[in-house]
Structure 1
Amino acid sequence: MKLHDLRVGTRLALGFGVVLALLLAIAAIGHWRLQTMGDLISRMHAEGMAKERLASEWHSLTHVNGARTIGVISSADADERRRVEQHIEQASKRIGVIQQQLENMIASDDERALYADIGSRRNTYRQARSAVFAARDGGDAAAALRLTTAQLEPALNAYLAAIDGLKQRQSSHIETLATEAEQQYRTGQTLLHVLSAAALLAGAAFAWWIARSIARPIRRAMRIAQSVAAGDLSTPIAVHSADETGQLMQALKDMSASLSSIVQQVRSGADTIASASGQMAVGSSDLATRTEQQAASLEETANSMHELVAAVKRNALHSHKADQLAQEAADAASQGGAVMTDVVDIMASMNGASRQIVEIIGVIDGIAFQTNILALNAAVEAARAGEQGRGFAVVASEVRSLAQRSAAAAREIKALIDTSVAQVDVGTRRVEQAGATMTNIVSRIGEVTAIMGDITRASQEQSSGIEQVNQSVAAMDQVTQQNAALAEEAATTVASLHEQADQLAHLVSVFKLPDAMRQPTLAIFNGPPAILPEAAAQSGQASRAAKLSY
């Protein structure tokens, strides 16, 4: 396993472990050196200083005893001599104890040789002192003085010199131990300094390595996160380790790939929506145009129906008048047979009535002609209306048939009236033929009455047909209004959809995708949605105008 694949916690534990190990090594070495110095100090105190102290005490006691011995030889006071001798004896006992202690402390051959030499010189000194005391006790003061000078003092000096040699030997040993302790101290200090410097360098190196192994991937992750926050998803993300930072980089890589896929899908969806909204805009524009054309056609149809209604009303009025005239003519013809005396006046009246009938028939003929024309126009408009105008075409055909029948009837009436006028003229000249002619007129008037009844019924049928046509036109107007409303809603919806698609495309345009994921963006169709609401409004206004026109 590579070092950069170690987890961050493991690396930190490793770094702290190395530092702690170095600190432990420093502490162990310091403890070892301190223990060594403690042993040296203990040796120096237990061996050197104790021996030196005992040797110094031995030298001091020996020197004092020597002075006491020389002093007591020349003293004449017996009590003083006994007292001094007691002190000498006490000092000798102490020296024996010191000698025994030193004998137990001696460890080297040199010290044993020195100790043996001191013991030998002590014996010599004690023998010389005993000889001096014996001469003194024998009353030979001169011999005592002579022995003191000749034996005691040289033995004492030799004895003191031997003790001083032991003392110097211990002082030298103490200095050696002190030098060794100082050397151990300096060596330990140097070693601790070296180890401390090594620990400091190792700790700094591990700290730098750990900080670098953590900070560099985090800085890379921060730069990648900043790029993603700025919308740049094209930055390649490389994963170089398997630790937490590597897992973070892998998560950023997966996040960038997921965002790239989402942005690509959103872009594709926005392009698809834009294309679909463009197609819907074209369809809505065509629908608005057709609705406007249908509204215009409906307006023309409404105008034609208005004229047709007026013509039918006039036709009905004239038919009613003609029916009244026919009834009056029938009554007049019935009365003519009984009132032959007034035949001339009646014939004159019939002549005038016939002229009026001719005029009325001319009007009826004109109405029939106009009705025929209007029915023809209505049939044409019904054909243009398609499936919705099929019922209207049937009604228009029936109206046209009735108009043709009315025209034929009008022509027949006109012909009859012309004949009647001629007969009236002939009747004026030929009164004698009045009876036969009157009978003929009555018969003809009956036919006229029947024809006028037919015309009246035809007018009623025309009124019924016109009512159906009005209903059809109303239904067409309602459909047109609904189409206009749907066209307006569709235009508004398409405009909103187009605007949202444009906003969505603008929002995702800030993301920069990798080259492998880039696709050409479809052109946004942004023309018709701005026109459609106006076209739909115009279509609705035209439909409402058509409704108000009739």
Structure 2
Amino acid sequence: MAFFRKTPPVEGIGRRYEKPDLLDVVDATQAVIHFKPDGEVLFANENFLSALGYSANEVEGEHHRMFVDEDYAKSEEYAEFWQKLEAGEPFTSQYKRIRKDGEPIYILATYCPVRDQNGIVRRVIKIASDVTDRQNTINEIEKGLNALSSGDLSMRVTRSSVPELVVLGEAFNDTMENLSALVENVKKVSDTVYTASQGIQSTTIGLSQRTETTAATLEETAAAIEELSSTANSAAEEAKSVKTTADATSQTAETGRELVANLTEAMEKIESSSDQIGEIISVIEGIAFQTNLLALNAGVEAARAGDSGRGFAVVASEVRGLAQRSSESASEIKSLIQSSSQNVKDGSTLVGRAAKEFESVFTGVNTISRSVQHIASNLQMQSDVLKEINVAVSQLDQATQQNAATVNEVNDSGMLLAREAETLVGEISHFSVTGSVSGAEAPAFPVGEYSKAG
């Protein structure tokens, strides 16, 4: 695309513009000022005087340094600038100048030395355009970018009067708004994460302590249950031994009961035999009594017979003596039999009572045996249950230990998350997002983007 095209002819005007026409255009649209080669002002047009706030009388005959910073006016750079102009070197750049009221003004200017026919520089003409609005907008954007680099998202630029910079300013403000919203959200999220991490850390610390306490308690409980299980096993074994003894005692009692029954039966037989012996003794007593009567009658008859009956009388006397002794012996035997019979009756009574007592003992032993058997069964069941509880508590203890380790890991992760969240909060706090509009006072023109010379 061609930036410079030939201008078509205009009616009444030749193909080349006349110099007076060109100068009129420049004078009407640009700020123009003429200097001597040493910098003394010769002439300034109305555009220049209006832009800097001076009148012609205030500038003509004065030096160019009245339009620049005092420090710059005293510098070697400024002196060298005019030396180069006087030597015929032109300059085109953007410059910062000072208005009469002390405010800065930015111009896009060309300093052009004008030579005579002999090539000697007779004057310097400067043609300039006021670009203060443009530069102020650029300065604001630069200030906003510098603020952004330092974490300040509150800078906003005012709407520029330069059309091509309006879009740039709006884009900058939109970007800052979006970044502010993003940082605000990140701040909220980071604050939430930090608060949550603190809560998690606090909770996990408490949970860790409670888990450790629970683990210690479970360990003690497992030890106690182990000891209780061992005791229950011992008790079950003792109960088994007692049951065995009780069974043997029950068997012995059963045997004793049988012996007592046999003894009772024997006593009853003895008592029956005693009665029979008594009856026999009674018969013997009767026989002895009859024999005695017969012997007495025989003696009487022998006495009647005289000498012939003497031998018979002796025999009768002997028989009576024997009958008498038999009767006495029978009486003694009967007395003894009666005494023995009474003793047998007493013994039988005692044996009967002993049998009843043995029956009670046997019943009690059976009851004890059944109770011991029931106790042994319960103890065995308790021992089995305690073993299962011990296994369950051991598994629970292992799970609690694993939970404690997991809680410690979670606690460490929570602490790490808290530190990272704290770091994130610290990093995000570097950004300031309070909205404000800049531009009440134009910032200084950045060094390197304009020239002080001229």
Shorter-chain-normalised TM-score: which range?
A: 0.3 to 0.5
- Identify the structure with the greater strand proportion: 2
Question: Under a length normalisation based on structure 1, what TM-score does the superposition of the two structures give?
Answer: 0.38
- Identify the structure with the greater helix proportion: 1
